[in-house]
Structure formats: structure tokens, C-alpha cells
Amino acid sequence: MTQIWNIPGGIHPPENKQQSLRAPLGHIDLPAELVLPLNQHLGAPAEPVVAVGDNVKTGQVIAQPGGQFSAAVHASSSGRVIAIEDRPLPHPSGFAGPCIVIAPDGLDTWINLEPCPDYRAQEPVELVQKIRLAGIAGMGGAGFPTAIKLAPKANQPIDTLILNGTECEPYITADDRLMRDRPEQVIEGARLMAYLLGEPDRVVIGIEDNKPEAIAALRAAAEGSPIEIAGFPTKYPSGGEKQLITILTGREVPAGKIPADIGIVVQNVGTAVAAWRAVVRGEPLISRITTVVGEALDVQRNVEVRLGTPVAHVLAAHGFQAAKASRIVLGGPMMGYAIETGDVPVVKTTNCILAPSQQELPAPPPAQACIRCGMCSEACPASLLPQQLYWYARAQDHEKLEAYNLFDCIECGACAYVCPSSIPLVHYYRAAKGDIRQAQVDKEKADRSRERFAFRQERIARQEAEKEAKRAERAKAAAAAKAKMAEKKSNAGTASDPVATAIAKAKAQQASAQQSPVEQRAKLERQLSAAQGRLALAQEKLSQAETEEQAEKCRAAVKTAEIKLTDVQQKLANAKDAPKDDPVAAAIERAKAKLTMSPLEKLNATIATLSERLQKAEAKLAQAQTEQSAHVEALQLGVDKLRAKLNEAQEELASHSPTTADERAPDDAASAAIERAKAKAAARAAMSDTDKLREQVSSLEVRLDKARQKLADAEAEGSPHVDALRTAADKLANKLADTQSRLENA
Amino acid sequence: MALMRISSPHATGPNRTTQVMLTVCLATLPGLMALVWHFGPGPLINVLLASIFALALEALALKLRKRPIGFYLRDGSALVTGILLGLALPPYVPWWLIFVGVFFAIVIAKHLYGGLGYNPFNPAMVGYVVLLISFPLPMTQWVLPAELTQQTPTLIETLLGLAQGTQGLPDGITGATPLDAFRQNTGELVLDVYAQSPVLAAGQWAGAGFEWVNLGFLLGGALLLQQRIFTWHAPVGMLATLLLLSALFYDGGSSNSAGSPWLHLLSGGTMLGAFFIVTDPVTSTTSTKGRLIFGAGVGLLVFCIRTWGNYPDAVAFAVLLMNFAAPFIDYYTTPRTYGHTKPRKATEKSE
Amino acid sequence: MIELISHHPIASALIALGSLSLIFGAVLGFAAVRFKVEGDPVVAQIDALLPQTQCGQCGHPGCRPYAQGIANGEPINKCPPGGQSTINAIADLLDVEAPTLDEEHGEESDIPTVAYIREDECIGCTKCIQACPMDAILGAAKQMHTVIADECTGCDLCVDPCPVDCIDMIPVQTTLSSWTWEPPKADLIATDRKEHQAA
């Protein structure tokens, strides 16, 4: 006999399990539409691999897992994909989310399955991958992808596999039905999972003792195998993963850890069957057993439902009387959530559709004052202090909430169930948990913002500092020049004669040249020999040059070398009979020589193309303006930019021209100037100030009209952006008025 | 289809605060019947008057605080406070005394602290202690049980008493209670005390009348325990401590004896306190361990005050003193949460 | 010795007191140096409580300068994005009475917003990029700009500089992952309080 441990707390709500167990497992017709949400479970949504209009077969993959914590989605019947769009999701928020909608053709043609009866011949890794691709996710509640649980990390040796057949929630009998009808599949599933987990020491199926038939059926099916069937006293919430672990092993999962950390894996019995079918028969998960129960229904039973079947369709097939129902709950009365519309589909985790009457589950009475009776702490299976948590949740004291271990609450609802004052305790905890998580997210964002802002400040400061340094350098240079000037002036004594200054300057220069004539000469001699070498090399290259282009280049190189050589020779000569000769002359010579090779042609060409582009742009701009196109602004900017570039090029050219105008490109400079003048004239003609303003006014008017139109639309739809749009429209109107007044003034 | 979006659980248990309170009221009946049987209609009038005053003052306070009157009156907490105070008062006190007591209980001790659930002190005991300190004479005069006087005050005498207290009653009808007899004991053996005190002499274990009243409250308490209105921890903690201490200090019935365990368990307000006052959830501790400590603390204080203190009975003082200590006890008795190795101190800051 | 003391009571008292004060002064001085607690500077603590929108509505060029300002005695109710909760937190930290928000600096908004650039209207002027304290706008001259929504703090400093008004502040969308339960509807006590305030 398996040893059973006790858990603290717990409650004994009316079980209400008989209603749905009287009838055998049923089947219902296919609905008109199958709605398959892309995120049916925790983790990233799946990515669709079919398009609207595609024909799909039963079991065909229609969406691939979108990440590690994701599972594949399969067509649950053959038919045509008629939409991939947002539909209401089975989620307490009532939000819509992306779904693939299939119109079944009624034929239910399957894809070719790949059965694998002898799975022991394959590696567990491959089988786990198979389970992953079959889209198996936890069918008990949270819908955690099964493949992840079946592939524990290497440092987590699993010694115990627990199959959870507890089903402690009132009303739900889906697992009970499964264990009674298909016990051999449950046992096979347990064997498969044990194989995948490396044959743990203990494989135990935990069932509450209010399901004697299921226990008997499983015991019979497990005859002769080491699989334990453990029945234990009925108490809600024994079926919670952590609670079940304690009941069957006496161990506790440490806070913030997962069962695999203590060598235990817990799987729902339904999940085990689904995994077995996926591996042995090759069937993906396309249907599940769901309990349909509640006094607002004519028929209460368990049915095998194709995933994606709208809840309303299931209810309609069981004689749902909307007037009698107090609400529709997906899941049980303790942990399920109420849905607002019957359009939401049945998904992998939908173990129960509960349609209770008003008498069955009346609306909660208004909450009375907490009298600190302590019944909640007696009922809490996690040994929390629910009333303290309630006070602090109301006071939004996040620190205290965490100190009282709010995050160890499993939201089983036992505390709220026993509360004599009908305080919605779990609701408070959920809201508080959400607030705390949000606060953490906000805090992280604020920290990141602080960092980014600090970085930006630093960057701006650095740029400023660089600018400042440059400015300081320039100022220093200017000051030095001034000082020099002043010095010279004082050197020249009282004479303010520019000639005297010039003489002084020349003298100073000569003095500096005289500083170390020997060294200078040595340097020049070195330069001379280098220049000679370079010249020889260039000449050699010229003789070897094959094409004209190359030859041209080489010739230029030869010439540079020659110039440099003569230059150096000249300098050397100067240096030799220094300080008689003037070095200034040499400098002029040098400058002249360099200029012979200056890229003047290039500049001129650039200017020519730029002015051509400018003309084109201006033409376009004018056209746009006459057509009142929306691109006027952009074009205007383009023209401005081109003009700026042109000016830049011209300036560059101009900087060269003083020394070259007489020698090389007088014509080019002149033509550039003419071009420039022309371009400017054209631009001015195209755009007088008033014209500009007028254009602005008209474009503003167009934009204002557009903005007003948008605003009206938004108001009609009651869009949340109305305010933003209204401010935008107001701003535009202001701008327009402003421009108009300027136009009048102009 | 109008579907609600409310959080789970959708099912609620059978317990209702109103029902809890009404069950408590019903459970006082055996004790009340014993009181009436032995002391005449006075206690019943006390209870009725106190209840009426309590409901009226509660309504007034709610109105002043702009709360929905009907909704909060229906929770029955004011009725319980009134009944408990009425039961604790000596029979045949003037009506205004009852009013003053109820006023302090409902308005001062409860509503000024924020209403039901927020009051740190047991309202009925606050009312009782205020009266005991302010009006010691009428509060310490108990009529003698019917076994001694062979007659109980008639209804007319009782109504007269409402106006003027025990002065309106026939002479010789009041006398020392069993606890008084012991408190006034000056060096005599327990047996002698029993022989000299008419009340004790006429009783089986702890004084005529009083022992039956206490047994009545014990019965009512057992009923509440059976109904799982509260847990056994606090009453058992209190009674066990009282039993243990009185057994220790019984001293074989010598002249230094503090009285027998029977006397302590079955006289004065012991049982009323153990099952109806100490179990008040609002002013008690939260965890079961804490309740055990809380009850034990009350038992200890009751014994100390009875034996060495100046007041005839001590339940009210003991409860109020332990009310002070309740948050402190809570702080040290936080249960160990699932998955945590040791209970975390609630005031530890997560820094 | 005793005689000496009894003969000069005042002088001996003064000496005794003086030497005592010297000893204690030395002990205290030693303790102050030896056991000095390196506390988190108050500016950093205040800065940690501010919402870091860097919006400048308080009149400072960012949150940290305002934290510095508060440390220098400025009112703590000048931060509309943080709202009352931030004011309360700072009041708690500084152990002062929590004032209400100074409406002069803007109104508290319950709905967090994020900037959104209507991209077909953007002319690529980069003015918003320069205005953004968070570097949360991507783009270059003549290139369409876009907001990195995750980094945007909703400070709306980019809205005004935009020459074509193509930036909207839109409410942050709640997604399935960010959705949480609303707290339960205020119970009777709270509703009463509201009615009371209205009356």
C-alpha cells in the first residue's frame, strides 16, 4: 500500500460529479467553423504555415511552434482555411487574438499517420521531438508544453513520475471518464513517459478515493507492472501539482523551483494518453475529452470534442438554456474562469464547460467586513495567511505582500470559498500579483530609462567638451597670434610703419631659418636623394606603361617627382647659400607646382552636375506646387539641400581660384559663377517669399482638412485617439492661421 | 446573454458571517437559562436591554459614518456584543449603567476604531471594564442564587431595579460571590472557607448557581465547537492553563491555597470568557498556534489577577491585556509556507 | 583626596564634569569615525522613486536634477507622470506629509502613453530625435523616423518640436501578456466614502 502524506488546509466542497458520469462518453457533430488560436498555451504563439484558401487535412500542421515554450497547432478536421484573424480567446481577459479558422468539409480525411508501435527502438530524444511536433500540452490546467517537462536537464535526475488523476475540482469528470474508459491507454502512457524519463524508480498514478471505478479499472490494467495506483482521501485541492507531490512523496517543491528540481515529474493522465497516441499511433492532439455540465443544460455528460469547436456549439448540442444560466465557466467552479461569449473555442486545456443555473452558482453576495475569523488560513493548502494578504492587497503594500509569500499562492480558491464574509480573496491576490509584476516591469523600464538618459547626457556632455576644447584651441591660437603681433610691435619700437613691421617679420623668419642650418641641410639632402629615387621609379614605370590611361597617370607621377626634386634641389641650394636667398620664393614655387596637379576639373564637374540636379529638382518642385501635391515639403527640402551642396562645392572651388585663376581654370570658374547666378535666379523666380507662404497655406489647408476628416472618423468610431487627433487638428489650425497672417503681412 | 466576468472561485461555502453571529447568540441560551433559573429575570432583562441599546447605537454609529445601516446591522456583530455584555453584567443594575457600557462597547471600542474587523479590543470587554472601574459598587453586587434566598426577585422588583439598582431589591438578597469569598480569605484552610461562605457551602464544586451557569456556557461552547464556528485552540489553551495553575497553587487546600481547580473553572466568568470572549476572531490572533498562545495567556492572567489582584473577576482584564499582545503573537507565529524552509518574519523588509 | 574634594566642591564638580565630557566626547568621536554608516545618498534614493520619464514637467532637465532639487528642499509634488503614488513614496522616504500633486506642472494621467510617428507624414527633420531624452527615436536626416516603443517613456517632449505634427501620443495597448485582473470593485465602505465626498 502506498504511503500517503497529509497536506495542510483544504476544503470539501460538494463534489457534483455524478451529473456528468451518468451518461457514457459522447460525440458531437463538427461545427461550421473550427477556430484554432495560435497561442493556446503559455509561451510564444505558433507561426501559421498555411494561407487563407488552403485545403487542409485532419491532423495537418497548420502552425509551427514559435519557440522553445511553444507547441504546434494542427487542423482538427479536414476542410478549408477561411480566415487567419483575431477571434475571442478562451482567456479570462476576454481579449481577441490571432486564430486560424477552418471550415470543415465534413469528410474528416486524415493525413498519412506514421505509427511507431515499438517506440523502445528509438531514442527518447526523438520521441520527445515527436511529442513536441504533435502539439501535446498539459491537459490538466496550465497547458505547459509536455515535451519540455519530458526532457529534464541533465542535472535533474528524475526518480519519480507521477500521473495526476486526482481531478479534485467539483463537477469535472473528464479524467475520471478517461481512466474508466481507456485505462490501458493511461497505463501505456505512463510506461511511455517512464521510458522517456529514463525509467524512474517510482511511477505512481494518484487518484482521489471518490473515483473507485477509475481506481479499479487502472489497477486491473496495471496488473503485473510496477506502476502504483495510489488512492487517497478526497480533499480539494489535492490535485494541485505541489499538493499531489506532497501527498504521494512527502516532499515539498521549494519556493521558486519546479518539481524536476527535486527529481519529480507530474503529468496529467490525459496528457499521458495524448503523448502515447502521438508516439504509437502518430496522431497529433486534435481532440480532448471535456465535461459539459451544469443545470442550465438538458444533457450533462463528457464528450470528445475537436479542438477549436466553439463553446456555443458544444452547449447547443447539450440543450443549453441561456435564460437559466448564471454564467459560463471554462474549467471548474473553483479555478475556472467565466467567459463573456460562447464564440471562444475549446482548446487543449478546456477540461470542463460549466453552465450552472442561478440556484447552482448564484452571483456572489456583496462582501462584508473581514472578521479575522481565520477560516481562510485553516483552508489554505500553502499555509499562507490569506487575511493578512487581503489587508495588504487592499492597502497595495507590495513589500508586505511579498513578505507574506503572496507568490506562493496557487489561487486554488479555498480561502474565498470558506470566507463567511464572501470576500473575493483570490481576486484581490490576482490583482495584487498583476500589480506587483507590473511594478517590477515599470521599475526595470525606469532603470533602463535612467541609464539611457544618463548615457545621453554623458554623450552630449562629451560632444560639448570636444567643441569647447576646439574653441579653446582656436582662441589660444588667436591669442598667441595677437601676442606675437604685439611683441613685434613692441620690437619695432614706436615705429608703426608697416614696412618696418614687414622687415621685422622677414628678420624673424630669417632668424628661425638660421636656427640650425646644418641640420636643415642634412634633412634637405635626405629629401633630395628620396626625390631622385622616386623620379627614377616613376620614369621606369612610365616606360613600362601599356595603356594610355596608365601612361597618363605615370606621366603625372613623373612630373610630381620632378617638381619635388627641383623643389628640394632649390631648397638645398637656398640652404647652402643661406641666409642670402629668400625661402618665400621657394614656397611660392612649391605652391605653384602643387597646383598644377590640383583636382580643379573634378570640382568643376561636380558643380556642373549639382546645378543640373538642382534645376531638375526645382522643376519638380514647381510642378508639385502647381498640383498641390503633398510632397512639396519634401521636395523643398531636397532643393535646399542641393543648393547647400552646390554652394559648398563652389566655395571649395573659390578657395582654390585665387592662386589658380590666372593659370589653369579661369573659364571654369567663370562658368561656375554664371551657373550659380542662374540657379539662384531660377530658384528666386520659382519661389518668392509670398509664393512660399501661399504654398504653405494651401498645403496646410489640405492637411487640416485631412486631420479634421480623421478626427470625425475617430469620433464616429469612438476611437481612443480622439484626443490626440483633436490636438493635432487644433495645432494645424493654429499653424494655418499663423501662416495666413504672415502672408498678409508679406 | 449577460455573462459576468468575475474571478474564481465561483462556488462559495456554506459559512456566512451573519449565520456565525446568530449561532453564537443561540449558543448563549443554555448559560442564559441557567442564569435566569438561579438569579431570576434580571440577567434576561440585562441581555434584552443591552441588545436593544447595542442595535440602536450601532445604527446610529453607522448613520453618522454614512454606511448602509441595514447591510451592516444584518451581520449581527452588534447583537453579539450586546448579548455578551448583558451576560457579563451583574443582574439588577440600573438601566443607564447598561447604556453606558454598551455605548463604550459599540461606539468607542468598535466604531471609533473603524467598525467591525478593525477594532483591536473586544468591545464587550471594553464596556465591562469601563463600568467596573467607573461604577465599582453596582458592578460588584451580585444577587445570591435562588438556592440560598429561596426566592428570586420578581419581574416587578427587577423592573424597579432597573431604575435604582440593587437598592430596590429586598434586603439580604445580595452577597459575596465564590470568588469574593476566596479573595477575602485571610489565612484559613480551604475547607473552612467553604464552610463559612454560604454560596460555596450550598454548591457542589464552585458555589451554588455559578457552577451551573458556567456549565451552561460550557454546553453552548461545545455546541459552537461542534458547529466549527471556531477552533478549539483558544478555549482549550485558556482552560488548560487555568487548570494547571490552579492545581499547582491549590497547595492541598492549605491556608495559602488559591482555590481548587474546580472553583477556578466553574466560577465567575471562566466559561463565558473561554467560549464567547476569547474566541472573538477580530481581536484574537490569526494562526492556530497563535490562538493556543493567546488562550494560554488569558488563562495565566485570569489566574494571576484572581489570586493576587484586587478585582473579583479577571476575565475582562485578561482578555484586554492579551488583545494588546495579539499582533505580537501573530508576528511570532507566522506559519511556514509551503516550499519555504522556515517561516519568514512578516516585518522583514525585502531589501 | 576626599578632603580636597569636600573643600573645593565647585572646582571638583567642574573637573569631574569636564573630564567626563572629554571621555564621552572622545568615545563618541571615535564611534562616529569607526562605525560610520555609508548610506545611500538621499538624491539617489529619491531618483530611484521618480518615474524616469525625463519629461521635464517639473522644470528640471530630467529626473535626477529634480531629485537633487528635492534633496535641496524643493516641493515633492511637481511630478505629474509619477502622480500621487510617487509623491507618497517620496513623502514616505523623507518622512514628511504627502501633499497632493501640483496641477501647475501638469495633470496625472492614469493611462500610460507612448509616442507614435505617422511615418508617411514624417519628413525626416531629426528634430524629434534631438528632443528625445531617451534616444528612443530612430532615424536620420531625410529618413523616416520611428519610435522604439519599448524605450519610450511617454514624456511627449518630441511632440512640440515636430514641424509637421506627425507625432501622436497613443495609449499603451494592453496585450494578453500584460493583462492583469482589475482589483475587485470597491466594496460598500469605499462607495460610501465616495458618496460622502460627493455630498
What pLDDT, on a 0 to 100 scale, did the predictor assign at position B11? 83
Residue A125 pLDDT > 70: yes
What's the pLDDT score for residue C188?
A: 47
Report the SS3 class of residue A746. coil
Q: Considering the domain C42-105 in this protein, what is its CATH number?
A: 1.10.15.40
DSSP reduced 3-state for C96: coil
The answer to whether the CB of A493 falls within 8 A of the CB of A510 is no
- pLDDT confidence bin for B61, thresholds 50/70/90: very high
Q: What is the ipTM of this complex?
A: 0.83
C166 assigned to a ligand binding site: no
CATH 3.75.10.10 is the classification of domain C111-174: no
- A366 in reach of chain C (CB within 8 A): yes
More confident residue, A69 or B239: B239
CA atoms of A546 and C134, how far apart (whole Å): 60
Report domain extents, chain C: 42-105, 111-174
DSSP class of residue B314 equals: -
Question: What are the grid coordinates assigned to C73, written together?
Answer: 528642499
Q: At B327, list the grid cell.
A: 499582533
Average pLDDT over residues A446-463: 88
Cβ-based contacts of B7 with chain C (< 8 Å): 181, 184
- The span from the CA of B141 to the CA of B161, in Å, is 12
Give the pLDDT mean for A725-730. 80
pLDDT exceeds 90 at position A208: yes
| B39 shares its domain with B93 | yes
Q: What is the per-residue pLDDT across A392-434, written as a single tens digit (0 to 9) for each?
A: 998 888 888 988 889 999 999 999 999 988 889 999 999 999 9
C194 or C182, greater pLDDT? C182
Q: In this structure, are B154 and B186 located in the same domain? A: no
Within this chain, do residues B101 and B163 fall inside the same structural domain, yes or no?
yes
Question: Per-residue pLDDT averaged across A586-595, rounded?
Answer: 58
pLDDT higher than threshold 90 for residue A81: yes
Phi and psi, residue B195, nearest 5°:
-70, -35
Q: Say whether both B38 and B122 belong to one domain.
A: yes
Kindly report the nearest CA distance between residue C73 and chain A, in angstroms: 22
Task: Name chain B contacts of C195, Cβ cutoff 8 Å.
Answer: 66
B163 and B28 within one domain: yes
Q: Mean pLDDT over all residues of chain A? A: 82
pLDDT above 80 (res A595): no
CB-closest option in A339, A383, A424 to B337: A383
Decide if pLDDT at A599 tops 70.
no
Among C181, C184, C192, the residue with its CB nearest the CB of B67 is C192
Per-position DSSP letters for B230-297, written without gaps between them: S-SHHHHHHHHHHHHHHHHHHGGG-TT----HHHHHHSTTHHHIIIIITT-TTTS-SSHHHHHHHHHH
Name which of A465, A474, A388 is nearest A432 in CA terms.
A388
Res. A160: pLDDT tops 50: yes
pLDDT of A471-481, one tens digit each? 999 999 998 88
Contact A328 B3 (CB under 8 A): yes
Q: Are B62 and B68 in contact (CB under 8 A)?
A: yes
Determine the distance from the C-alpha atom of residue B117 to the mean position of all C-alpha atoms in its chain, rounded to a whole number. 18
The confidence score (pLDDT) of residue B349 equals: 43
Q: In what order do the strands lie in the sheet with A328-330?
A: A26-27, A301-306, A287-293, A352-354, A328-330, A337-339
Percent of chain C with pLDDT over 90: 8
Q: Which of A606-615, B149-158, C95-104 has the lowest mean pLDDT?
A: B149-158
DSSP secondary structure letters along C105-140: G----SS-EEEEE-TTT-----HHHHH-TT--EE--
C-alpha to C-alpha distances, A239 to A137, A162, A499, A693, nearest whole angstrom:
18, 11, 108, 76
Matching residue, cell 479534485: A168
C-beta atoms surrounding A192 within 10 Å: 24
Query: Which one of B12, B111, B118, B350 makes the best mutation probe of the A interface by having the most chain A beta carbons within 10 Å?
Result: B12
Q: Which residue of B11, B17, B71 is in closest CB contact with A333? A: B11
> Any idea which residue has 432583562 for its cell?
B45
CA distance A245 to chain C (A): 29
- Check if C196 contacts B (Cβ < 8 Å): yes
- Span of A694-698, A734-738, B74-78, C193-197 with lowest mean pLDDT: C193-197
Most trustworthy range by pLDDT among A539-543, A698-702, C87-91: C87-91
User: DSSP labels for A208-251?
Assistant: ETT-HHHHHHHHHHTTTSS-EEEEE---BTTTSHHHHHHHHHS-
Q: Do C188 and B68 touch (CB under 8 A)?
A: yes
Residues B169 and B158: beta-carbon distance below 8 Å:
no
> Which one of B7, B66, B71 has the shortest CB-CB distance to C181?
B7
- B337 in any annotated domain: no
Pick the residue with more confidence: B165 or A51? A51
The answer to whether position B270 is within a domain reads yes
Give the rounded percent of residues in chain A with a pLDDT score beyond 70. 83
**Residues of chain A contacting B77 with CB distance shorter than 8 Å:** 371
Q: Distance between CA A540 and CA A627 in Å, rounded?
A: 64
Q: How far is CA A528 from the centre of its chain?
A: 65
Beta bridge partners of A205: A163, A229
Counting Cβ atoms within 10 Å, is residue A326 exposed (0-12), middle (13-18) or buried (19+)? Answer: buried
CB of C144 less than 8 A from some CB of A = no
How does pLDDT run across B171-229, given as a tens digit for each residue?
666 666 777 777 666 666 777 777 777 667 666 666 777 888 889 999 999 999 998 88
Q: Return the pLDDT at A225.
A: 87
Which pLDDT tens digit goes with each residue over A611-634? 888 888 788 777 777 766 666 777
Measured between CA atoms, the residue of chain B closest to residue C181 is: B7
- Are residues B41 and B160 both part of a single domain? yes
Least-confidence region, from A518-522, B50-54, B296-300, C189-193:
C189-193
Instruction: For the sheet with A47-48, list strands across it.
Output: A47-48, A61-64, A73-74
Counting residues of chain B whose pLDDT is more than 70, the rounded percentage is: 82
The answer to whether C75 faces chain A, any CB pair under 8 Å, is no
Chains in contact with C via at least 3 Cβ–Cβ pairs below 8 Å: A, B
Query: How confident is the model over A661-683, as pLDDT tens digits?
Result: 444 444 555 566 667 766 766 66
Indicate the residue type of B180.
Answer: D
Q: Based on the domain organization, do B236 and B211 belong to the same domain?
A: yes
pLDDT band at A354 (very low <50, low <70, confident <90, very high): very high
Q: Given this model, what pLDDT does residue A32 score?
A: 92
Mean pLDDT rounded to a whole number for chain C: 82
Least confident of A86-95, A491-500, B251-260: A491-500
pLDDT band for A246, please (50, 70, 90 cuts). Answer: very high
What is the distance in angstroms between the Cα of B267 and the nearest Cα belonging to chain C? Answer: 42
Q: Do residue B190 and residue B81 come from a single domain?
A: no
**Alpha-carbon span B260 to B253, nearest angstrom:** 7
Contact C178 A446 (CB under 8 A): no
Domain carrying residue B155: 16-174
Nearest to B219 by CA among B266, B264, B167: B266
Minimal Cβ distance to A97: which of C123, C150, C176: C176
| pLDDT: which is higher, B200 or B261 | B261
Q: Which residues of B fall within a CB distance of 8 Å from A416?
A: 9, 12
DSSP secondary structure string for all residues of B38-88? HH-SHHHHHHHHHHHHHHHHHHHHHHHTT--HHHHHTT-HHHHHHHHHHHH
CB atoms B66 and C188 under 8 Å: no
Name chain B contacts of A378, Cβ cutoff 8 Å.
231, 288
> Using CA of residue B39, residue B42, residue B48, residue B50, what is the dihedral sign?
negative
Q: According to the per-residue pLDDT averaged within each range, which of A184-193, A494-503, A511-520 is highest?
A: A184-193
Q: How many CB pairs under 8 A join A and B?
A: 177
Please say whether the beta carbons of A171 and A332 come within 8 A: yes
Q: How far apart are CA A632 and CA A242, in angstroms?
A: 68
- Give the β-pairing of A26-27 and A301-306: parallel
Query: Is residue B164 located within the same domain as residue B181?
Result: no
pLDDT over 60 at A583, yes or no = no
Residue, of C191 and C85, whose pLDDT is higher = C85
Nearest-CA distance B116 → chain C (Å)? 12
pLDDT of residue C16: 92
Task: State the pairing for strand pair A202-208/A228-232.
Answer: parallel
B350 in a structural domain: no
Average pLDDT on A503-529 reads 65
Distance CA C27, CA A620 (A): 87
- Residues B218 and B151 placed together within one structural domain of the fold: no
Q: In 10 A of CB A523, how many CB atoms?
A: 15
More confident residue, C144 or A575: C144
Residues of A forming the annotated binding site for [4Fe-4S] cluster? 370, 373, 376, 380, 409, 412, 415, 419
Of all residues in chain B, the one with the smallest CA distance to A12 is B13
As beta bridge partners, residue A145 has A137
Three cell numbers at A324? 437559466
Closest to B6 (Cα-Cα) out of A441, A132, C185: C185
Comparing B341 with A109, the larger pLDDT belongs to A109
Pairing of strands C113-117, C167-171: antiparallel
CA dihedral angle for residue A81, residue A86, residue A88, residue A93, rounded to 10 degrees: 150
**What's the domain count of chain B?**
2
Which residue intervals of A492-577 are DSSP H helices?
A: 498-514, 517-544, 548-576
* B83 — pLDDT class (breaks 50, 70, 90): very high
User: What is the pLDDT, as a whole number, of residue A381?
Assistant: 93
How do residues A271-315 score in pLDDT, each as one tens digit?
Answer: 999 999 999 999 999 999 999 999 999 999 999 999 999 999 999
For residues B170 and B23, membership in a common domain is answered with: yes
Q: What pLDDT shows up at residue B336?
A: 85
Same domain, B185 and B78: no
Chain A within 8 Å of C47 (Cβ-Cβ)?
A: yes
Residue A661: the pLDDT is 42
Closest CA to A450 of C48, C88, C39: C48
What pLDDT shows up at residue B300? 94
Chain B residues with CB-CB distance to A419 below 8 A: 12-13, 15
How close does chain B come to A170, measured CA to CA in Å? 9
| Count of helices and strands (H, E) across chain C | 7, 4
Instruction: State the pLDDT at residue C122.
Output: 85
Residue A594 has pLDDT above 60, yes or no: no
Residue B344 scores a pLDDT above 60: no
Residue of B85, B142, B64, B144 lying closest to B276 (CA atoms):
B85
Select from A385, A409, A410, A411 the residue whose CB has the most chain B CBs within 10 Å, as the one to mutate to test that interface: A385
Query: pLDDT at residue A556 above 80?
Result: no
Q: What pLDDT is recorded for position A503?
A: 62
Greater pLDDT, A513 or A200: A200
